[in-house]
Amino acid sequence: MVKKKEMQDVREFADNQVLMAMLGARNDNVRRLEKKLDVDIKVRGNQITVQGDKAAVAKAVSVLEKLYQTAARKGDVDSSDIDNAMVVKGRETPSGKAGEEHGGEEDLTLRTRKRHIQPRSATQAEYIRAMNSCEMVFGLGPAGTGKTFLAVAKAVSLMLEGAIDKIILSRPAVEAGENLGFLPGDLKEKIDPYLRPLYDALYEMLPKDVVDKKLELGEIEVAPLAFMRGRTLTNAMVILDEAQNTTPMQMKMFLTRMGENSRMVINGDLSQTDLPRGVQSGLSDALDVLRNVKDIAMVTFTEKDVVRHGLVSAIVKAYDKRYASRKGLGG
């Protein structure tokens, strides 16, 4: 086995206070970067020495310089800043070489009232790019990859810009089935547990009082899929979550609600359907029917894009491996 050629690069940073903010408590940010890029980083005074494989060292130095600029601008650096710095021109490049197909410093930031959100993986960058350029986007892949979170962030940013008047968030309440009537409370109380992830995403973007006011005024609507029937949705961004749990007819009904100046994002994970055995997923059917329709984007996430706890990615990968082996056996 040929050992990779090692090198080292020494960089000096002028402002010690900014440097301390960049390094984090107990140099935690440095440790995180070492683990991500498989390099060795030593800090002495205002000098940082990076040692390791040539390409990894070049990437680490580039990321450190970006983080220093981030610390100078906002006063600290967190884990999301590190992930953002790993994405070069919208594309994560472990080799340290920037992708050229989207030249220039592309701005993929989604600006909301409470936070500014940037892509944390190459696929997230592709997804934001698709939402910027296409009126209908399918986001496919496992939980924890940021599909719903980024779609809600895009919707909120469009509303704050005045590009849309309304945000509609929907998902099928398949788990309730025919037993919905037996649950306690009125219709809203019965349905809200299935819509809670959408509310949670909204509260990440806007102050609670603003969300509640917009819900009251109808500027933001969170509703089960069945409530979409018979409507034409104009000047709105409409997000369908857990789309794998729709039937083909439900999916067709939803997609044909699209009206003037509307955008739609349809998210789902085909490996997680809760439909009865033998019932085809409307998401699977739509992907097949619409695959060659112009101006519809389809973005596929994998376990590598999981941005929750690190174990989530490993869990998704383990289940995918088991599923693939069963398919291979005809299971």
Run means of pLDDT, 10 residues per run, the chain, 331 residues: 68 88 87 88 91 89 88 78 66 40 63 84 91 95 90 94 94 58 57 78 92 93 85 92 93 93 94 87 96 92 74 74 65 45
Say how far apart CA 253 and CA 257 lie, in whole Å: 7
**What are 242-265's pLDDT values in tens digits?**
999 999 999 999 999 999 999 999
Residue 100 lies in a domain: no
Same domain flag for 55 and 200: no
Tokens of 61: 């130095």
CA-based nearest residue to 151, from 264, 236, 254: 264
Same domain flag for 208 and 295: yes
Same domain flag for 120 and 255: yes
Q: What is the pLDDT of residue 302?
A: 87
Same domain flag for 281 and 151: yes
Same domain flag for 72 and 204: no
Which residues make beta-bridge pairs with 49? 10, 42
Domain boundary among 92, 124, 145: 92
Domain boundary among 44, 62, 92: 92
Residue 103 lies in a domain: no
Same domain flag for 205 and 247: yes
Q: What is the pLDDT of residue 329?
A: 52
Same domain flag for 69 and 211: no
- Whether residue 101 contacts residue 70, with contact meaning beta carbons closer than 8 Å, is answered with no
Say how far apart CA 36 and CA 86 lie, in whole Å: 9
Residue 23 lies in a domain: yes
Residue 204 lies in a domain: yes
How many domains does the chain divide into? Answer: 2
**What are 44-99's pLDDT values in tens digits?**
888 999 999 888 898 889 889 888 888 887 787 877 678 777 765 444 444 333 44
Say how far apart CA 122 and CA 87 lie, in whole Å: 7
Which residues make beta-bridge pairs with 322? none
- Whether residue 247 contacts residue 282, with contact meaning beta carbons closer than 8 Å, is answered with yes
Q: What is the pLDDT of residue 285?
A: 96
Listed in sequence order, the DSSP H helices in the chain are: 16-23, 28-37, 54-74, 79-85, 122-133, 147-161, 187-205, 208-217, 248-255, 282-290, 310-328
Same domain flag for 46 and 133: no
Q: What is the pLDDT of residue 185?
A: 58
Pairing state of beta strands 166-171 and 236-240? parallel
Same domain flag for 33 and 65: yes
Q: What is the pLDDT of residue 42?
A: 92
Q: What is the pLDDT of residue 135?
A: 94
Residue 98 lies in a domain: no
Which residues make beta-bridge pairs with 136? 264, 296
Task: Provide the residue range defining the domain that includes 80.
Answer: 6-92
Same domain flag for 173 and 293: yes
Same domain flag for 192 and 60: no
Q: pTM for the whole thing?
A: 0.67
What CATH number is attached to the domain comprising 52?
Answer: 3.30.1370.10
What is the maximal distance between C-alpha atoms in the chain?
68
CA dihedral of residues 250, 128, 142, 235 (deg, nearest 10): -20
Same domain flag for 120 and 10: no
